[in-house]
Amino acid sequence: MVPASPFGLSDEVAAAIEDGQPLVALESTIVTHGMPYPQNLAMARRVEAIIREEGAVPATIAVLDGRLRVGLEASELEGLATARDAMKLSRADLAYAVAFGRTGATTVAATMIAAALAGIHVFATGGIGGVHRGAETSFDISADLEELARTPVLVVCAGAKAILDLKKTYEVLETKGVPVVCHGADELPAFWSRGSGIPAPLRLDSPEAIAAFQAARQSLGIGGGMLIANPVPEADALPQATVDGWIDAALADAEARGVVGKEVTPFLLRRMFELSDGRSLTANIALVENNARLAARIAVAMRAGG
Residue 188 Cα to chain centre, angstroms: 16
27 binds Mn ion (CB under 5 A): no
The option from Mn ion, ligand PSU, none interacting with 295 (CB < 5 to 8 A, set by class) reads: none
Residue whose beta carbon is closest to ligand PSU:
126
Answer for the pair 272, 250: CB distance below 8 angstroms, yes or no.
yes
The option from Mn ion, ligand PSU, none interacting with 29 (CB < 5 to 8 A, set by class) reads: ligand PSU
Q: Mark out the alpha helices in 151-304 (DSSP H runs).
A: 166-175, 207-219, 240-257, 264-275, 279-304
R_g of the chain, CA atoms, integer Å: 18
- Binding region for substrate: 88, 108, 142-144
**Please, what is the minimum distance in Å from the beta carbon of residue 112 to ligand PSU?**
9
27 vs 142: CA distance, rounded Å: 15
40 binds ligand PSU (CB under 6 A): no
By C-beta, is 10 or 90 nearer to Mn ion? 90
140 binds Mn ion (CB under 5 A): yes
Among the listed ranges 47-55, 72-80, 86-94, 133-141, the one in contact with Mn ion (CB under 5 A) is 133-141
Q: Which listed residue (54, 161, 262, 289) is catalytic?
A: 161
- What are phi and psi for residue 254, nearest 5 degrees? -60, -45
Closest CA to 159 of 142, 180, 186: 180
Q: Which listed residue (27, 54, 147, 289) is catalytic?
A: 27
> Which residue type is seen at 190?
A
By C-beta, is 135 or 202 nearer to Mn ion? 135
Q: Give the pairing of strands 67-70 and 23-26.
A: unpaired
Site residues for ligand PSU, window 90-129 (CB under 6 A)? 107-108, 125-127, 129
288 vs 276: CA distance, rounded Å: 18
Residue 62 Cα to chain centre, angstroms: 13
- Binding region for Mn(2+): 140
The option from Mn ion, ligand PSU, none interacting with 93 (CB < 5 to 8 A, set by class) reads: none
Closest CA to 117 of 6, 238, 207: 6
Active site residue 54: no
Rounded to a whole number of angstroms, the distance between the first and last alpha carbons of the chain is 41
Answer for the pair 105, 87: CB distance below 8 angstroms, yes or no.
yes
Number of residues that bind ligand PSU (CB under 6 A): 18
The option from ligand PSU, Mn ion, none interacting with 290 (CB < 5 to 8 A, set by class) reads: none
Active site residue 27: yes
**Please, what is the minimum distance in Å from the beta carbon of residue 33 to ligand PSU?**
5
Q: Known catalytic residues?
A: 27, 161
Which residues contribute to the site for ligand PSU (CB under 6 A)?
Answer: 27, 29-30, 33-34, 107-108, 125-127, 129, 142-144, 262, 265, 269, 284
